[in-house]
């Protein structure tokens, strides 16, 4: 008969070989958000931190290490909210990242403007022609509601644009 401590020690040796633990610890030390989403980074952080059981004793240490690995722009925003748990830090980082991504999307839309050709999606349907009212008679959309993609004026398509015709 062996004691519980001996059993745990043998269990660890058998199912968590030292070289795998050290490998996971190295990954944890080098862990940064990089191009990962906040959710992906947080999941990997929680999975790898299990190989450092001493971190669990100090919640402030967990928060600090998590925040240091975030993308630079998120670090100060999360720290300014002064999260006292890892869960609050992850939530704050996620919300801040969402605000940033929405702003980036809006900025792209403004930069594209009415005079620039819209980006195409996988189905190659221009953004300006999606969700338009379709004529019940001819099954086509008619000009008048959307601005011309060449000059930005409402009332004609790019194929009939006076500027396009003048350029040729």
Q: How far is CA 112 from the centre of its chain?
A: 22
Decide if 55 contacts 62 (C-beta within 8 A): yes
- Per-residue pLDDT reduced to its tens digit, 27-63: 888 889 999 999 998 999 888 888 777 766 688 888 9
pLDDT on residue 129: 46
In this predicted model, what pLDDT tens digit does every residue of 135-166 receive, in sequence order? 666 666 655 566 777 777 777 777 788 776 66
Reported as half-sphere exposure (CB side, CA atoms, 13 A), residue 70 has a value of 26
**CA–CA dist 121, 123 (Å, integer):** 5
Cα–Cα distance for residue pair 108/121, rounded to 1 Å? 15
| Mean of per-residue pLDDT scores for the chain | 78
**For the chain, what's the residue count?**
168
Q: What is the pTM of this model?
A: 0.53
Can you tell me which residue has the tokens 């401590």?
A: 5
Whether the pLDDT of residue 107 is over 90: the answer is no
Query: SS3 for 134?
Result: coil
């Amino acid at each position: 008969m062996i004691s519980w401590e001996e059993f745990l020690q043998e269990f660890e040796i058998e199912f968590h070989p030292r070289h795998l633990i050290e490998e996971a610890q190295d990954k944890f030390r080098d862990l940064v958000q990089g191009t990962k989403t906040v959710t992906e980074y947080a999941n990997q952080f929680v999975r790898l931190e299990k190989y450092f059981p001493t971190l669990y004793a100090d919640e402030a240490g967990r928060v600090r290490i998590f925040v240091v690995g975030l993308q630079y722009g998120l670090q100060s925003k999360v720290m300014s909210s002064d999260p006292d748990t890892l869960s609050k830090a992850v939530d704050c980082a996620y919300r801040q990242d969402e605000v940033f991504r929405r702003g980036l999307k809006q900025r792209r839309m403004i930069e594209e403007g009415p005079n620039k050709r819209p980006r195409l999606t996988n189905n190659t349907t221009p953004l300006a022609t999606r969700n338009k009212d379709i004529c019940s008679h001819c099954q086509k959309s008619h000009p008048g509601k959307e601005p011309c993609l060449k000059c930005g004026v409402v009332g004609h398509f790019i194929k009939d644009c006076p500027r396009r015709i003048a350029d040729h």
